Amino acid sequence: MKKKIDFDKITKFVKKRNFLIACCVLVLTISTIGYSYGAFFSVKTNSDNQTVTTGTLAVSYTNASTSMDKGQMQSMSDEMGLKDTDNSLIYIQNTGSLDSTFTLTVGYDMDNFTARTTYQDTDELTPLDYVMVAVYEHSGGVDTLVVEPTAVAELPIYEVNSSDSRYNRYAILFDTVGSTSSGNATKTYKVKMWLSDKAIPAASYTFFYLNAEIIAEVENAKMAYNLSGTVSSGGSALNGAVVSVQNGSVTSTTDASGNYTISGLYPGTYNLDITYNGITYKGNLTVVEGTSNSLISNGTTFNSTSNIFAVANTYKTTIAKIIDVNDIDTYSTEVTFNSGTSYSLAPTYTFTGGGVEDVSGLNISLDTTNQTYSLTLN
């Protein structure tokens, strides 16, 4: 018996994605590589190398290139994206006498997007829901995956532009680079981006302009918190649960007593995901400095007429989580909220730390029925 095809459903689905990639424009600014469809993005440094109190954090990128047009862009799986050899190398060097922290951010390359001679206000950018990114640390000839494949829309917002969300920046890595006397004053990263295989190779045209930037600060005044606790469900400790921070950059697997430890979390907003029995429970944890340890929930629901980026920034979550938890059937740039309607939030917490780096008793309880979790600080 032949299966009946629901053409109305297919038509509706295609219309909701009516501008995904048939042809993308790739602009390579200061640095990028890649002629295969696996890597098609621009990477650039800040206007000047960043001066910190004790010296300069120098950032450089491989290769220089003019702009190129790329037609008939194809989507690819995460496995293909990771195997692809195309990447952009980023070199970071601390010339000062104190360790420094830095954040690698990504976002639309609006400078080059709007500078095109053919630019029109109606031009569309590829939705961040379908742009995948992965980061490797390159040391001693060995590549170590430090940020597993994730959509840019699933990254915490680093900076919101209230007048034009296309200028927002999204944080993908918090890390440190040592001083000149530490023997760890340089770091090299490989960044890969690709179009998700969830994107439909459909109809119209969008423009694919992305870049990465390094933002640095002096570390000496910052705390790096080491958080530990237990993972449980229904009061029973869970053995083998994987606690993941920042899309796999830091992980801890629980022991027979459900214990985990996550080390070296500087202030910032992180994805905090727990995987157990093949199910991933997704949420966010914001770390801030204070005078004593405390933990608060940023809420479980919200009512808003603001854009989704403002909501994500206010509640310290990600735009992809807002879409997923509310079963919103659209891409992030098209989300609108109904006035007076209550919407759900994924677990999102703020931890305020005191003057001691080691903090125990941050316990995670999984709700296996609703596939969510809660945090408590004992």
For 125, 149, 203, 347, the CA distances from 23, given in Å and listed in that order, are 11, 23, 9, 37
User: What tens digit of pLDDT does each residue of 191-207 get?
Assistant: 888 888 887 654 346 77
H/E/C letters for each residue in 260-282? EEEEEECCEEEEEEEEECCEEEE
Residue 319's CB is within 10 A of a number of other CB atoms, namely 29
Q: Which of 73-87, 126-140, 315-329 has the highest mean pLDDT?
A: 315-329
Q: CA-CA distance, 38 to 145, in Å (whole number)?
A: 17
What is d(CA 213, CA 111) in angstroms, rounded to the nearest whole number? 13
The DSSP bridge pattern shows strands 259-265 and 225-233 to be antiparallel
Averaged pLDDT for residues 148-153: 92
CA distance 71 to 81: 19
Token pair for residue 216?
């640095």
% of residues, the chain, pLDDT over 90 = 44
Rounded Cα distance, 49 and 289, in Å: 27
Q: What does the pLDDT look like over 208-263, one tens digit per residue?
A: 777 778 887 776 667 889 999 999 999 999 999 999 998 777 899 999 999 999 99
d(CA 194, CA 76): 7
The answer to whether residue 327 scores a pLDDT higher than 50 is yes
Predicted pLDDT at 220: 63
Amino acid identity for residue 368 in this structure: T
Over the stretch 276-295, which tens digit does the pLDDT of each residue have?
Answer: 999 999 999 999 999 999 99
**Which of 172, 200, 116, 159 lies closest to 312 in space, CA to CA?**
159
Amino acid at 199: A
Specify the fold of 225-300+345-377. Immunoglobulin-like (2.60.40)
What 3-state DSSP class applies to 23?
Answer: strand
Q: For residue 316, give the nearest of 281, 271, 250 by alpha carbon.
A: 271
- The tokens describing 63, both together, are 């290769």
For residue 310, give the 3-state DSSP assignment.
helix
Tell me how far the alpha carbon of residue 166 is from its chain's centroid: 16
| Angle made by CA atoms 55, 192, 109, in degrees to the nearest 5 | 70
Give the pair of three-digit tokens for residue 284: 């966010």
Domain boundaries, the chain: 7-218, 225-300+345-377
pLDDT, position 239: 98
Confirm if 246 and 174 have CB atoms less than 8 A apart.
yes
Judged against a pLDDT cut of 70, whether residue 10 lies above it is answered with no
The rounded distance, in Å, linking the Cα atoms of 37 and 316 is 33
